[in-house]
């Protein structure tokens, strides 16, 4: 429980600090969007680039772990999409953000430190792999779906516009550049790595602080069902599905199995808010889900830690 409090409370405190800054008038309503643009264009790209470029390609090929983690993500994505589309009546962009909120765990800013505190240095690798999966696959697919849903052109024009938008997307470009360097075995010069880590270090706190600013004066009473569905899928259903996959289709060593379940149970990551605000889609619902899932994760993660020992 101490490990949970040591990680979850600071994350929640950063959101609360942003809320207090907005509530007290220190920063205005436009500050959230400005800070979010800095995170999207200035901080996240170097963070993703250095994360990909410094991970050994062989390290991510623990296929049972990847299969269980991705299997949970895929299952929740399908459930979330149908729930958002047919129960809440959302369009493709909103349903895509609904799904991202329900699957995109805070593996970078909670998963890695929590794994380190709870299990030691050997547990950092699974958390890093999950972060790579979230960055390279989830962000890419969700961005493509949102771009597709917001296009009003027809036929080939849709594909052209989507490809053009993806090529210009700084998060995807940075991730792919890092992956290419990693596969090619090209070492990253130390000054470049240091620059990326310094600037990228602002991504997590910046996004969390921006969420707090955005929440000032917002009412979520009209979105209770949608927010509750995302939080439930993220904190309860995804770890249960991952547990079932680990026990049946993807058996693995106990430490890796435990980490797969724990990482699946993490609350929604702040990068969801970054994408949602960038496309002005499902911002209120996703930010509320991030906040509430972070608060409730104190209990849910404690249960998972007790289960996996």
Per-residue model confidence as pLDDT tens for the chain (309 residues) = 666 677 677 877 888 899 899 989 898 878 888 888 888 888 888 887 887 788 777 766 688 999 999 999 999 999 999 999 999 999 999 999 999 999 999 887 677 767 766 777 667 678 778 877 887 788 878 888 888 887 754 556 666 666 776 677 787 788 788 888 888 888 889 999 999 989 988 887 888 888 788 878 776 676 889 999 999 999 999 999 999 999 999 998 888 898 899 999 998 988 898 889 888 899 989 988 988 888 888 788 888 887 776
Asked if residues 244 and 260 have their Cβ atoms less than 8 Å apart, the reply is: no
pLDDT at 289: 92
Alpha-carbon distance of 180 to 188, in angstroms, equals 12
pLDDT at 168: 74
Buried b vs exposed e over 60-97: b needs ≥16 C-beta within 10 Å?
bebebbbbbbbbbbebbbebbbebbbeeeebebbbbbb
In whole angstroms, how far apart are CA 205 and each of 24, 67, 160?
19, 30, 35
Taking each helix axis from N to C terminus, what angle separates 224-232 and 92-103, rounded to the nearest 10 degrees?
40
Taking each helix axis from N to C terminus, what angle separates 44-53 and 124-133, rounded to the nearest 10 degrees?
120
pLDDT at 154: 56
In the chain, how many domains are there? 1
* pLDDT tens digits, 24-47: 989 887 888 888 888 888 888 888
What range does the domain containing 303 cover?
2-308
pLDDT at 158: 61
The pTM of this model reads 0.78
In whole angstroms, how far apart are CA 34 and each of 26, 100, 208, 214, 283?
15, 22, 13, 11, 15
pLDDT at 12: 78
Asked if residues 283 and 258 have their Cβ atoms less than 8 Å apart, the reply is: no
Alpha-carbon distance of 221 to 62, in angstroms, equals 43
pLDDT at 151: 72
Asked if residues 65 and 260 have their Cβ atoms less than 8 Å apart, the reply is: yes
For residue 120, the Cα-to-chain-centroid distance in whole angstroms is: 23
Asked if residues 235 and 267 have their Cβ atoms less than 8 Å apart, the reply is: yes
Alpha-carbon distance of 33 to 45, in angstroms, equals 17
* Count of other CB atoms within 10 angstroms of residue 116: 16
* pLDDT tens digits, 244-266: 999 999 998 888 898 899 999 99
Rounded to a whole number, what is the largest CA-CA distance in the chain?
55
CATH number of the domain encompassing residue 149: 1.20.1530.20
């Amino acid at each position: 429980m101490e490990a949970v409090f040591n990680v979850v409370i600071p994350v929640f405190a950063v959101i609360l600090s942003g809320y207090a800054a907005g509530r007290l008038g220190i920063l205005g309503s436009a500050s959230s969007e400005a800070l979010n643009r800095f995170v999207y264009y200035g901080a996240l790209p170097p963070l993703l680039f250095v994360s990909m470029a410094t991970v050994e390609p062989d390290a991510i090929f623990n296929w049972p772990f990847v299969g269980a983690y991705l299997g949970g993500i895929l299952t929740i994505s399908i459930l979330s999409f149908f729930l958002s589309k047919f129960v809440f009546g959302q369009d493709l962009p909103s349903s895509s953000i609904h799904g991202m909120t329900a699957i995109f765990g805070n593996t970078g800013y909670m998963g890695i430190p929590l794994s380190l505190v709870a299990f030691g240095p050997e547990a950092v690798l699974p958390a890093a792999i999950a972060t790579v999966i979230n960055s390279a696959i989830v962000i890419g697919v969700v961005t493509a779906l949102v771009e597709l849903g917001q296009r009003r052109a027809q036929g080939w024009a849709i594909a052209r516009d989507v490809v053009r938008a993806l090529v210009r997307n700084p998060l995807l470009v940075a991730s792919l550049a890092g992956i290419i360097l990693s596969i090619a075995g090209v070492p990253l010069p130390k000054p470049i790595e240091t620059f990326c880590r310094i600037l990228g270090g602002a991504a997590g706190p910046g996004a969390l602080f921006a969420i707090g600013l955005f929440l000032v004066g917002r009412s979520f009473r009209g979105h209770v069902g949608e927010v509750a569905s995302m939080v439930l899928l993220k904190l309860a259903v995804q770890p249960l599905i991952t547990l079932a996959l680990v026990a049946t289709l993807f058996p693995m060593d106990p430490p890796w199995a435990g980490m797969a379940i724990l990482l699946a149970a993490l609350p929604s990551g702040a990068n969801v808010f970054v994408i949602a605000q960038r496309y002005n889609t499902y911002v209120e619902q996703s930010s509320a889900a991030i906040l509430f899932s972070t608060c409730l994760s104190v209990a849910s993660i404690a249960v998972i830690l007790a289960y996996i020992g």
